[in-house]
Amino acid sequence: MKKFTRIAIANRGEVAVRIIKACEEMGIETVLLHSEADINTRAYRMATKTICVGPAATAESYLNIPANINGALAGGAQAVHPGFGFLSENADFAEAVNKAGLTFIGPSPEAIRALGDKVHCKELAKQAGLPLVPGYQGENQDVAHLIMQAEKIGYPVIVKAAAGGGGRGMKLLKSSAEAHELIESAQREAQSAFGSPKVFLEKYLDRAKHIEFQVFGDSTGNVQHFFDRECSVQRRHQKIIEEATSPSLTDDLRRRMGEAACAIATMGKYKGAGTVEFLLQDGEFYLLEVNTRLQVEHPVTEEVLGVDLVKMQILTAQGDFVHDNKQIRAPKGHSIECRIYAENPFMGGVPSTGLLGHVEWPEGPGRRYEYGFDSGDTITPYYDPMIAKVIVWDENRPRAIQKMIRVLKDSVVFGVHTNIPYLIEILSHKEFVMGTMTTRFIETYFSESLKEPALTEIEKTVAAGALLQLRGGAGETAKASASPWGSYWRGI
Amino acid sequence: MEVKVRIDGVDHKAQAQLIAGTLWVHYNGRVFTQDATTGRKSRKKGGAGGSSDQIVAPMPGKVTKLLLAPGAAVAAGQAVLVMEAMKMEYTLKAEIAGTIDSVNCAVGEQVVLGKALVKIKPASDK
C-alpha cells in the first residue's frame, strides 16, 4: 500500500480547486501543473506548489504529456490527478505517468483503452450483449467515407470525438448538404480539445433522455454503482443542468441499467471513478459511452449519497479502498447542479471574457459551490467557458428546483456575463419541472437567444442611485428626478 | 459594494460596481449592466456590434477558417468564417447579400472582441 504525501494536478479551474480541497482534508500537499494563462487563479493560490507547464495553448500545456510528467516529478509528487477533460482519458498519459514511477489517479491505461475510447468501448459492449445505438466506428476517417456511412445510418446522425466528450467535437448532421463542413469542424474541435481528430457516427435519437450511472471500482477490482444522474438538459451537446437521481427511472429500469453499467465496467477491469452513459427512449436504454474519469456532475451523486468521490479516487490509487456494501445506501433527497458559463445569454450565448469584478456565492444549508475564479481574476478565451458550478440539495425534487432558483438569484458575478438568467428560465419551464425533458429540450424551447427584459423604473432608479454613491456623490438616497440619466429613461 | 437607494421612502439594497466604464448592478435577483456615461444598456462586452455590412468578432478568439475570399459572392445567412473561443467553434455568417469586399484577418490569428474581420459590399451597391 502506498501513501501519497503530494499529488500533482494536471488540470485547472474549479476541478483543480475541488481536488486541492480533498487533498487538504486528507493532509496531502498539491502541485498545480498550470499554463501561463492560469497564473494567479484560485487553484494557483490554493496549491502547495505551482509549476508552469507551458503557454496558454492547450496543445503546449494541458495536453503536453512530457511537460506534465516533468512538472509532476519536479514538484516532488508521487501521483497525478488528471481531473476531467484534457488528458484525463488519455491512455498514453496514464501509461507515461506510471512509467515515470508516479501513480495515475484513475483507471489503468488498459481500462482507458478498453472503455475510454468510445469506439473500443462499443466493441466491448457488443461482446457483452449491451444494447447500442446504430452507428459507424471505423478507422476510415475520410470525410467522403464518413458522409457515405451517415447516409447508410440515415439522418439525423451525430458526429462525436472518439477521444473525448463535453460537447466538443460533436455536430448534428441533418442532411448530406451540410455534412462535409460539419464533419471537418468536428474533427478540428476534437483535435484541438483532445489531441486526436478521430470521430465516429451515431444515429441521433430525437426523443431520448440522457441517463448515466456513477460506477466505482475499488482497489480489489470490485465494481459497484453509485446510482444514477439525469443530464438531459444540454445545449450544443454540452450538459447544463444535472440532477441525482433521475426523475425518469422506474425501480426496474434503475436496477437493469445499474447492472449493465457494472457489467461493462467489470469487463473493462475498472478501478476508480467512472461513468456509464445511456440514452433512454420509449422505455429502452442504449449504451452511449463510458467516461473513464471523474465527471463534472459528480457533486450531485455526492450530495444524495453522502460520499466523497475524489477522496475515494485517491484512496483507491493508494490501494487503500475497498467497498463496504453496508455503507452503500439508498439515495436521500434530491440534488441539482447548474453549470455557470461565462457567456452572454442575451446574445446567443457568445463567450464573455475579461476581468472578474465582485463575485458572491451566498452560503446556506443545502447549497454548495465549486468555482475556480475569485474577484480580480481574468476569464480568458483559451479554455472551457465553465467558471463555476452551483449545487443544491433538498428533501425532494420540487424543493430542490425552488432552492436552485433562489440560489441563482442570490449569486452575483460582475465583470463577465453568465448564463444565470438562462438557467433560471430553464428551471422554471414546465417541462423541466415535470421532469419530462429530453436531450432536445433546449433546441425545442430555447433555440432563440434569450430576450433581455427591459429595466423597470425601480431598477433604473436603483442603478442611478448606485452610480451616484460609487462616484462618491449622494450618501444613501437617490431620487428619480436627481438621476444623471433622467433624459434616457424615457427612451429606453 | 453594497448600496442602498431610497425611493419614495423605501430603501432598496443592491450590489453595484463600476468596471471599465460599465456599471454592474445586482438587484432583486437580477444582474444588469449600464454604460456609466450614458445610462444606456451596456453593449460593450460579449456583443458583436458593428454594422451589417461588416462581420465583427463577437468574442476574443482565434480565426480557424476563412470560407470566402475577396470578390466572392455571398448570400445573407451564408457562413463566411469560423472562429474558435473557449474550445468551441463559432461560424460567423453574413447578415446581408453581396460581395466580399475585404478580409482583415488571417487563419490562426488571435483577434480581439469587436475587431472588424470581413467587409461586405452590399448587393445593391453593385
Q: Which residues of B touch A347 (CB under 8 A)?
A: 46-48, 58
CA distance A55 to chain B (A): 14
The CA distance from A134 to A125, in Å, is 13
CA distance A280 to chain B (A): 27
pLDDT value at residue B125: 55
Q: Sorting pLDDT into bands at 50, 70 and 90, what band is B39? A: low
A293 catalytic residue (yes or no): yes
Architecture of domain A209-446: 2-Layer Sandwich (3.30)
Of A357, A478, A480, the CB nearest to B24: A357
CA distance B123 to chain A (A): 25
Q: Where are the domains of chain B?
A: 2-122
Most A CBs within 10 A among B2, B22, B24, hence the mutation to make, goes to B24
Q: Which residues of B touch A479 (CB under 8 A)?
A: 6-7
3-class SS of residue A452: coil
3-class SS of residue A90: coil
Q: Which residues of A touch B113 (CB under 8 A)?
A: 353
Query: Which three cell numbers, joined as nine digits, stand for A46?
Result: 490554493
Contact A458 B7 (CB under 8 A): yes
Number of H helices, E strands in chain B: 0, 12
In angstroms, how far is CA A235 from the centroid of its own chain?
12
**The model's pTM:** 0.84
Query: Is-cis flag, bond preceding A245, omega within 30?
Result: yes
The CA distance from A109 to A98, in Å, is 9
The one-letter code for the residue type at A340 is I
Contact A193 B87 (CB under 8 A): yes
**Fold annotation for A6-105:** Rossmann fold (3.40.50)
The CA distance from A161 to A117, in Å, is 9
B30 touches chain A (CB under 8 A): yes
Mean pLDDT of chain B: 84
Query: Which three cell numbers, joined as nine digits, stand for A405?
Result: 432558483
Instruction: Check pLDDT > 70 for residue B31.
Output: yes
Sequence length of chain A is: 492
Per-residue pLDDT of chain A (492 residues; tens, 9 = 90+): 789 999 999 999 999 999 999 999 999 999 999 999 999 899 999 999 999 999 999 999 999 999 999 999 999 999 999 999 999 999 999 999 999 999 999 999 999 999 977 778 888 888 888 989 889 988 999 999 999 999 999 999 999 988 776 677 899 999 999 999 999 999 998 988 888 899 999 999 989 999 999 999 999 999 999 999 999 999 888 899 999 999 999 999 999 999 999 999 999 999 999 999 999 998 999 998 899 999 999 999 999 999 999 999 999 999 989 998 777 779 999 999 999 999 999 988 888 999 999 999 999 999 999 999 999 999 998 898 999 999 999 999 999 999 999 999 999 999 999 999 999 999 999 999 999 999 999 989 998 778 999 999 999 889 988 988 888 755 444 444 334 343 333 333
Query: Is-cis flag, bond preceding A156, omega within 30?
Result: yes
pLDDT value at residue A490: 30
3-class SS of residue A95: helix
Closest CA in chain B for residue A184: B65
Query: Which three cell numbers, joined as nine digits, stand for A113?
Result: 483503452
Query: Which three cell numbers, joined as nine digits, stand for A337?
Result: 447542479
Most B CBs within 10 A among A462, A476, A483, A492, hence the mutation to make, goes to A462
Contact A488 B38 (CB under 8 A): yes
Helix axis angle for A143-153 and A176-194, nearest 10°, is 120
Of A357, A462, A465, the CB nearest to B19: A357
Q: Which residues of A touch B27 (CB under 8 A)?
A: 459, 462-463
Most A CBs within 10 A among B2, B11, B34, hence the mutation to make, goes to B34
If residue A434 lies in a helix (H) or strand (E), which one and from where to where? helix A430-434
The CA distance from A48 to A7, in Å, is 10
Closest CA in chain A for residue B30: A409
Which of these, A296, A293, A373, A299, lies nearest to A80 by C-alpha position?
A293
Could you give the C-alpha distances from B92 to B57, B68, B120, in angstroms and in order? 8, 12, 13
Query: Which three cell numbers, joined as nine digits, stand for A233?
Result: 438538459
Sequence length of chain B is: 126
What CATH code is assigned to A135-203?
3.30.1490.20
Architecture of domain B2-122: Beta Barrel (2.40)
Instruction: List, in sequence order, every residue forming a beta bridge with B119; answer none if it has no partner.
Output: B54, B102
The CA distance from A52 to A48, in Å, is 14
Neighbours of A395 (CB within 10 A): 12
Q: How many CB pairs under 8 A join A and B?
A: 177
Backbone angles phi, psi at A265, to 5 degrees: -65, -40
Task: Return the exposure string of B81-112: e unless at least 16 CB atoms fall within 10 Å of the residue's CB, then b.
Answer: bbbbbbbbbbebebbbebbbbebebeeeeebe
* C-alpha count within 13 angstroms, C-beta hemisphere, residue A316: 27
Please pick, among A293, A339, A367, A368, the residue that the annotation labels catalytic: A293
CA dihedral A230, A343, A420, A341 (to 10 degrees): 40
3-class SS of residue A118: helix
Most A CBs within 10 A among B17, B31, B88, hence the mutation to make, goes to B88
Contact B41 A492 (CB under 8 A): yes
Which of these, A488, A430, A440, A432, lies nearest to A461 by C-alpha position?
A488
Q: Which residues of A touch B6 (CB under 8 A)?
A: 465, 476-479
Contact A409 B29 (CB under 8 A): yes
Who's near A224: CB < 8 A, 6+ residues apart? A215, A216, A218, A262, A323, A325, A328
Which of these, A296, A266, A305, lies nearest to A107 by C-alpha position?
A266
CA dihedral A289, A290, A294, A298 (to 10 degrees): 60
Which of these, A288, A269, A274, lies nearest to A110 by C-alpha position?
A269
Neighbours of A391 (CB within 10 A): 25
Q: Which residues of A touch B36 (CB under 8 A)?
A: 467
Domain A135-203 in the same topology as domain A6-105: no
pLDDT value at residue B58: 77
Q: Which residues of A touch B46 (CB under 8 A)?
A: 343-344, 347, 350-353, 416-417
Q: Where are the domains of chain A?
A: 6-105, 135-203, 209-446
pLDDT value at residue B76: 86
End-to-end distance of chain B based on CA atoms, in angstroms?
55
